[in-house]
Amino acid sequence: MNQYLDIKPEVAEALAAGKPVVALESTIISHGMPWPQNAETAFAVEDMIRAHGAVPATVAVIGGRLKAGLEKDEIEYLAKKGQAVTKASRRDLPVLCARGEDGATTVAATMIVAALAGIGVFATGGIGGVHRGAETTMDISADLEELARTPVLVVCAGAKSILDLGLTLEYLETKGVPVCGYQTDELPAFYTRVSGFGVDFRADSPAELAAAFAAQRALGYPGGMLCTNPIPEQYSMDPAVINAAIDQAVAESVQQGIKGKKVTPFLLARVKELTGGDSLASNIQLVLNNAALAADTAGELAKL
């Protein structure tokens, strides 16, 4: 096992027994939601995964250790510390390990730790992607590169239109990352079920999704797969309301010269302020929905 990795005993036992395990990220806890909803959601997501027959492994860096599976007090610690925790993507892990520091892992960093631990399925809310204006800023999330190189199935609700969704799909196509729509032919846009962009393939059941990912593994591809799962109808938001908030947040980020790793947390926080509690409630529901699908798919994968 890697010298920096700690696998929670419950997770290690499940992996050794070939039982389904689902990884979860922690940037969503520290940077994606406010206290105390962030801790409540993290616990509810773990409960949802258990209710669907899998073992949850929330990932983070604590004191320089890469944790595959957190204890409740560790989740609470990250949730309370919030934005003061380092947002950790691929490039940040080595320094945090060397210095013995804490980090909340993004999709990219969570995939790295999941793969080191032997976990194949990961549930989250939204992934990073190609930002609007990337043709001049070159702001492209390391999440996309990680999907190209690390063999983990990531279940999300699509990407927020804080990103350029068309360019994000082009990038994934170039990198050979299969993009699945779960029970849909269209890429969902996180708060809404539609985006106007098509996905590569559609899966209508966890078994179908698991079979596609198993085939990708059998082909020996280095990279992962992205499953986009639309937000349940009753929690989806009015596209006009959410898109107005997103447009305003993007304009403010440009005016204020926000750059680098601060861009995404700035946009997420601003969209949340502009839309009040509505977007937070939707965000929580879609993460729960993704957790259930990821757990069911991990269960199907374990049978193959």
Active-site positions?
Answer: 25, 160
282 makes contact, choosing from ligand PSU, Mn ion, none, with CB < 5 to 8 Å by partner type, with none
Residues ≥6 apart with Cβ < 8 Å to 220: none
Nearest approach, Cβ of residue 300 and ligand PSU (Å): 25
Question: Segment near ligand PSU (CB under 6 A), from 2-10, 124-132, 198-206, 293-301?
Answer: 124-132
Per-position x/- string for 67-106, each x denoting binding to ligand PSU as judged by CB under 6 A, each - no binding: ----------------------x----------------x
> Residue 119: which of 79, 169, 69, 78 has the closest Cα?
69
Q: Residue count at the site for ligand PSU (CB under 6 A)?
A: 19
Of 171 and 190, nearer to ligand PSU (C-beta) is 190
Segment interacting with ligand PSU (CB under 6 A) among 120-128, 169-177, 210-218, 231-239: 120-128
Task: Give the 3-state secondary structure of residue 250.
Answer: helix
Residue nearest to ligand PSU (CB): 126
Count other C-beta atoms under 10 Å from residue 17's C-beta: 9
Near ligand PSU by CB under 6 A: residue from 6, 11, 15, 25:
25
Q: Where are the beta strands (DSSP E) in 3-159?
A: 5-7, 21-24, 55-62, 65-68, 86-88, 103-105, 121-123, 153-156
DSSP string, 84-116: GSEEE-GGGHHHHHHHT--EEE-HHHHHHHHHH
Q: Which residues pair with 193 in a beta bridge?
A: none
Residue 103 φ/ψ region, left for φ over 0, alpha for ψ in the -120 to 50 degree band, beta for the rest: beta
**What sign does the dihedral 92-94-96-97 (CA atoms) show?**
positive
| Segment interacting with ligand PSU, rule: CB under 6 A, options 16-24, 37-45, 141-149, 221-229 | 141-149
Task: Decide if residue 142 touches ligand PSU (CB under 6 A).
Answer: yes
53's tokens: 């027959």
Query: Residues 77, 39, 131, CA angle at the centre, nearest 5°?
Result: 95
Sign of CA dihedral 209, 213, 215, 221: positive
Q: Which of residues 135-164 bind Mn ion (CB under 5 A)?
A: 139
Footprint on residues 89-108 left by Mn ion (CB under 5 A): none
Q: Which of residues 245-284 bind ligand PSU (CB under 6 A)?
A: 261, 264, 268
Binding track over 170-199 against ligand PSU, x by CB under 6 A: --------------------x---------
Contact positions toward ligand PSU, by CB under 6 A?
25, 27-28, 32, 89, 106-107, 125-128, 141-143, 160, 190, 261, 264, 268
